[in-house]
Structure 1
């Protein structure tokens, strides 16, 4: 028997063994009417996912560090999902989703509809009809219903879907690491991949029955396929088309956005360098026109959906309603959009006197964004100094698209503390790349601006934190909200101005010497 076949058999047996153990754990938590059926379905799905992860790891070079990334990513998401399923009914809010073991309201509604469809006997393609408002695209709903119908027909077992969520979220990581290593370097790939593995919002999404882990994982595969295109087109074609079609199944709008990002990147990498100056200019003009046209045709949908989310945010917070009444109607949307950019608000997460479990979740989600955002902002400042020009253009495109995506996410979600972060996290692979690149640029160039950006953020967090502490615990006199905002903005502007002055003085001294 060939060695390759022997290895495959060993990997299969190992996968079946681990899958069987996972099946035992899940069926112990959710035995259902027929535990044996529940175990068999869970064990089969887990074994298949583990075997595929091993084969992908083998095919992409068998790096030890990548195997560790895969192991941590999969175990972290699956174990956290199990913990939340058990812990939320005990320590969460007394509401329907937490009582059923769901962290996200959307996951609760969609998964309930999936079980309803699975147990109804209706064809699975009915998931794409309009009556299932919980999933306007139908992709995750139909897949979840198929799993329930064929692998857990006796009982609604939400944990079995977590196997698939954790798997797809993890599947993109080895592709992502390999792509960044090929295009940039191994150190950048290492940091970027660890961000993808450990970024809190991504971890919580991958531990839930949400579509974002599927979108993130498939985006990692698409990123690899674009970079692998030069090397082996035939080998890259199927993963590229498959990943984009997969994204489209879960969300056609996200697929359009990712396709635009990748298409322009492909043009910049493979076509743009060989064009004449006139052709390059025409290409940029065409790109700007297409972007404007896309934004215009999406405007009605964006405004329509944003209005509802704006209403939900306002109605859920008396404080926001009060401040909006003070500033007037014309500042309503800018205020909510700006508020959304800071979500989850770290000072609020720390100070809010809520349930410990939910406070902990909110704090970790906030810390992730407040660590990532300064690096992305710094990348915008640092990218203009890099050479060669091709490198600068590619990274600039990523930065512009990422920042525009963050802004659109805030407009779309209307400042909601759950929807806003998960929308922006869809582009986490590119944000992780930018953050990793920015970090190593800082290590090489020793730019002071990254420290300054973190200092600006630290002042905002600490000053805002004392305002929240005084609001919730009455520890000392509290400044009026807008006076507090004015102080934060003024001090931050002075810090930026001071940094510019210091750099200018140092530059002049350097020129004189």
Structure 2
């Protein structure tokens, strides 16, 4: 059907051009006209929703926001003009933006009716943190206070102040004519536009790293990845940091391959903006960029010198490190305890605070977790919570939980399905990379270190959030660009050169999910199931996996003998 529709469309367009030569205009005119029509549609729809579906009187208030969002998309495309971006990628960018905006409008309209009666949901917010920060931003925007006050006195709403400042800036200067209750839709549009840029920079990063097939798959995967879509439809800082991480790694790779200052400027700009939203995240991004630069193994120009052998590289890296430390020092008071001035002491405090948070979660855990902690040695609690955090959101738990209202149950299943599909490829990626199944092109990114970087981000998110079902996935999603690019590399490289271990990893994941499903049904529905012990359930999953692996190994050995 899509192919026949395309043929009909092309034939109709050709007939129209022959009948009316004036229609044979340059392609860019058609693109601009279509973009203006889409923007007009967005403005009218937002005005209609903000008026309570009674008219479009508030449409004029969204004109400025529509212009800013369009400028963000155009600027993101213009920066990558040297990458020879395919036309379909522009269509994907538009669809990605509309998907996030449409979902944000759905939350705004549906959650007051379908969600719980929490203050955030009654106002149409899918994230409680976004609600708290947005209320403070609207209050600051309507007051006569300078917007820089966002970095002072609003720590309860925004620990670092950057997202609060940006929201208040948009509400003050672009929110005129929009009802106060509907102004969050303006921010949803801006967030949707900026978060969609991650698709462009993920494609560009993956194409330079491994070629067009990986890039195409990675761009489409990120456009549809549930956690990225969810964050891009809400007023969350992670929607910005996902795009900033993609930009930083693309800039690093571009600088390494071309020695272009444009690539270095992208790295610097991404770090500066990350510092505005979250200094700890900017510091972690800097560490990951340094690891990547030292171990990717890409070559520079025709000289064949590795990047980290050049003194200029270390000068630039030192400058970026000093810049990051300067930014942390300027924002020190927003996240460091009063009286603390030593950076090493701050790191130690952060680790202790994370351990304390883990202990708090242990105390507040559900009955089955408390039972596990009581019957296991204390040193096992942290590794268990780390592994638990890596698995969350867990698909069997989402499927079996019938206590949630329908809209939240479907959101939980949607998020868990996305992570469950991605996780096996991330588990398999280091196995393939370190076993050297593929012969690496000297110009390619080294997937071994990228695998380590991805898992460093996953474990850091799990450690910091203690396996929380909301904080843990959104911290982890900041590095969705790298995760999905690595998964796309696994899929494409596996199609080029088969390896049974991907199949075995998928089988192992399937066995664990199959054994956990009745265990969760026993918890939520009192399903008649004889195995109620968690460790026995894990043991059955592992044993089933080993048996299937042995059968697969024997089957392949028999084929080789034939």
Output the TM-score relative to the length of structure 1.
0.86
- Equivalent residue in structure 1 for 2:218, among 189, 192, 195: 192
- Change over 3 Å in CA distance of 1:110–1:483 after alignment to 2: same
| 1:76-475 mapped onto 2 (5 Å cutoff) | 76-129=99-152, 131-153=154-176, 155-156=180-181, 157-229=183-255, 230-231=257-258, 233-268=260-295, 269-270=298-299, 274=305, 298-308=347-357, 310-312=359-361, 314-315=363-364, 317-353=366-402, 354-384=404-434, 385=436, 386-388=438-440, 390=442, 394-475=446-527
Which residue of 1 is the match for residue 89 of structure 2?
A: 66
* Larger proportion of helix: 1
- Change over 3 Å in CA distance of 1:275–1:344 after alignment to 2: closer
Once the 2 structures are TM-superposed, how far is the Cα of residue 40 of structure 1 from its aligned partner? 3.0
Does the Cα contact within 8 Å between 1:20 and 1:47 map onto a contact in 2? no
Once the 2 structures are TM-superposed, how far is the Cα of residue 65 of structure 1 from its aligned partner? 2.0
C-alpha distance in 2, partners of 1:22/1:389?
Answer: 45
C-alpha distance in 2, partners of 1:411/1:404?
Answer: 10
- Change over 3 Å in CA distance of 1:388–1:300 after alignment to 2: same
Once the 2 structures are TM-superposed, how far is the Cα of residue 98 of structure 1 from its aligned partner? 1.7
What's the CA shift string for 1:282-338, capped at 9, x where partnerless? Answer: x9xxx9xx9xxx999634303303523652475263332233223253332222222
Instruction: State which drifts further: 172-181 or 73-82.
Output: 172-181
Q: Unaligned stretches of 5+ in structure 2?
A: 1-25, 322-342
Q: Unaligned stretches of 5+ in structure 1?
A: 1-5
C-alpha distance in 2, partners of 1:174/1:277?
Answer: 27
Secondary structure at 1:368 match in 2: helix
Instruction: State which drifts further: 83-92 or 228-237.
Output: 228-237
Instruction: State which drifts further: 232-241 or 184-193.
Output: 232-241
C-alpha distance in 2, partners of 1:499/1:300?
Answer: 49
Which residue of 1 is the match for residue 73 of structure 2?
A: 53
C-alpha distance in 2, partners of 1:171/1:303?
Answer: 36
- Change over 3 Å in CA distance of 1:54–1:332 after alignment to 2: same
- Change over 3 Å in CA distance of 1:65–1:102 after alignment to 2: same
1:24 corresponds to 2:44? yes
- Change over 3 Å in CA distance of 1:277–1:361 after alignment to 2: closer
RMSD of equivalent CA atoms: 3.4
- Change over 3 Å in CA distance of 1:394–1:239 after alignment to 2: same
Once the 2 structures are TM-superposed, how far is the Cα of residue 255 of structure 1 from its aligned partner? 1.4
C-alpha distance in 2, partners of 1:71/1:275?
Answer: 38
Secondary structure at 2:423 match in 1: helix
Once the 2 structures are TM-superposed, how far is the Cα of residue 250 of structure 1 from its aligned partner? 0.9
Once the 2 structures are TM-superposed, how far is the Cα of residue 49 of structure 1 from its aligned partner? 1.7
Output the TM-score relative to the length of structure 2.
0.79
Once the 2 structures are TM-superposed, how far is the Cα of residue 404 of structure 1 from its aligned partner? 1.6
- Change over 3 Å in CA distance of 1:335–1:166 after alignment to 2: same
